Chains A and B, each alone.
Chain A
Amino acid sequence: MLYIYCPHCGEHREEEEFHPKGQAHIARPLDPDNCTDKEWGEYLYFRKNPRGLHHELWVHAAGCRKFFNMTRDTVTYEIKEVYKIGEQPSVVADS
């Protein structure tokens, strides 16, 4: 059971209140009309899927319903930090 700190509510809550929404920091193409099929495909479907540190998007679905980001280790499941949308992570992988 993950015990997650919501940066909007300022409280730790249990995993079940939250929904993971996948990899964070995926920028929507700036000029979508001129994207190739390959660019669209990679934007929509291709993911980092790291074994180790991962930055992901979560939503406090059964709480404040706001989105935030999390840096988490995908092997130990340790949550390194949570930070708001628009902010950059302070914990990053070496490579």
Chain B
Amino acid sequence: MQHYSGFGLFKHSLSHHENWQRAWRNPTPKKKYDVIIIGGGGHGLATAYYLAKNHNVTNVAVIEKGYLGGGNTARNTTIVRSNYLWDEAAHLYEHAMKLWEGLSQDLNYNVMFSQRGVLNLGHTLQDMRDIERRVNANRLNGIDGEVVDPQTIKEIVPHMDCSDNARYPIMGASWQPRGGVARHDAVAWGFARGADSFGVDLIQQTEVQDLIIEDGTIVGVKTNRYGDIMADRVGSVVAGNSGVVAKMAGFELPLESHPLQAMVSEPIKPILDTVVMSNHVHGYCSQSDKGDLVIGAGIDGYVGYGQRGSFPTIEHTMQAIVEMFPIFSRVRLNRQWGGIVDTCPDACPLITETPVKNLFFNCGWGTGGFKATPGAGHVFADMLANGEANEMAKPFSMYRFHNGALIDEHGAAGVAH
């Protein structure tokens, strides 16, 4: 792998940047792998990277039906935070946060992780009680956070309407300074390049059409371009399409797939240097380095696989954003899109063994998977390497919906669903 550095940039400038090595190979798959990962998004690529780096499992293929990082990895609002309520979830997201903090150095790839802080607003007395409880729980778990009053919010975000004149006046917020945003494409590309450098085969434009299961054990996958590819273990990391892969394997998951929308405005000069989220009026907003306001909406209530969203949802979101930021009322929207998120009844993911031996799923991240990308990959790689859940993954088994040990994170999830 070609090492990226300032000196390298200078050196290549002398040859007009025409001799850069490709970031990853485009290999023809082998007949058999130790591990096949279905899905080449951020989570799948991170899994492959940590499998190779931490567990020395390099005979790995990532099979992606489109192009790398072209699904939800490219469609989210890039927010990273770890202020979750329950210990199990807080540990998992904080694990991811710690990896984020060293990720650019680890990958030798600038993921543009910017810890600009995340505000979660409260507009009612109950919101404020929930926020105080969550912040206290966070601090007990060693996660940074504080409860801030409207005056402090006004200092952090001067353009926000913190007056009593709003339809739902802002009563306070939780503030996680270590939260922020990262460049989503760079995360996928950095992990892809890292995994490829260890010898992982990234197979793009190849769809897994069926699973090969013998006596309740998975032995390989059927693909549309390369026929059967065998594997000792298979990990499915396909987000919205998890139900489709589960159906191939012959079981159901406690998931429903919904379109989740996001949109960006035209680029404007720097105006918002943090991330603002509101559960109550429901919208979240940050400003990208390019200058566009990145705005996130809620999910459509019905099951949908069309990667777009409904118009009423856009309207509700814009109402919320303009309510919080009256100054944005004349900014024009540039683009709008949708991604398919697999929501779990308790708003926590599934990192799980399944009824099929050697088949594992990492899914159910719903509306908040991006922030967990390195952590999820790290934990799921451990599961694929050892064939069982480690301490961090154990609570996220799909069988918690049989024994009742749910982890209710609807409050911290931040997106209504």
A positions within 8 Å CB-CB of B: 1-2, 15-16, 19-20, 22-23, 37-38, 40-42, 44-51, 54, 56, 72, 74-77
Which of B252, B301, B303, B310 has most chain A Cβ within 10 Å?
Answer: B303
B positions within 8 Å CB-CB of A: 241, 243-244, 247, 252-257, 301-306, 310-312, 342, 345, 401-404
Nearest 4 Cβ contacts at the A-B interface: A49-B243, A20-B302, A41-B402, A45-B254
For the A-B complex with A20-B302, A40-B402, A49-B255 known, give 16 more contacts whose Cβ atoms are closer than 8 Å.
A15-B310, A19-B301, A20-B303, A37-B402, A42-B252, A42-B401, A44-B345, A45-B254, A45-B345, A49-B243, A49-B342, A50-B303, A51-B257, A74-B302, A74-B304, A74-B305
User: In the bound complex, do residue B302 and residue A1 qualify as a contact, i.e. CB atoms below 8 Å apart?
Assistant: no
Kindly list chain B residues whose C-beta atoms are within 8 Å of the C-beta of A49: 243, 252-253, 255-257, 303, 342
Kindly list chain B residues whose C-beta atoms are within 8 Å of the C-beta of A54: 303
B144 to chain A, nearest CB (A): 33
Kindly list chain B residues whose C-beta atoms are within 8 Å of the C-beta of A77: 304, 306
Kindly list chain A residues whose C-beta atoms are within 8 Å of the C-beta of B301: 19-20
Kindly list chain A residues whose C-beta atoms are within 8 Å of the C-beta of B403: 37, 41
Given contacts A54-B303, A74-B304, whether A46 and B310 have CB atoms under 8 Å apart is: no
The listed residue (B247, B254, B302) touching A46 by CB distance below 8 A is B254
B72 to chain A, nearest CB (A): 15
User: In the bound complex, do residue B302 and residue A56 qualify as a contact, i.e. CB atoms below 8 Å apart?
Assistant: yes
A79 to chain B, nearest CB (A): 11
User: In the bound complex, do residue A56 and residue B303 qualify as a contact, i.e. CB atoms below 8 Å apart?
Assistant: yes
User: In the bound complex, do residue B252 and residue A47 qualify as a contact, i.e. CB atoms below 8 Å apart?
Assistant: yes
A21 to chain B, nearest CB (A): 9
B309 to chain A, nearest CB (A): 11
Kindly list chain A residues whose C-beta atoms are within 8 Å of the C-beta of B342: 49
Given contacts A1-B312, A76-B306, A77-B306, whether A46 and B243 have CB atoms under 8 Å apart is: no
In Å, the complex CA distance between A77 and B259 comes to 12
Closest to A39 in B: B402
In the assembled complex, 7 residue pairs joining A and B whose CB atoms fall closer than 8 Å, in A order, are A15-B312, A45-B345, A46-B253, A49-B253, A49-B303, A72-B302, A74-B304
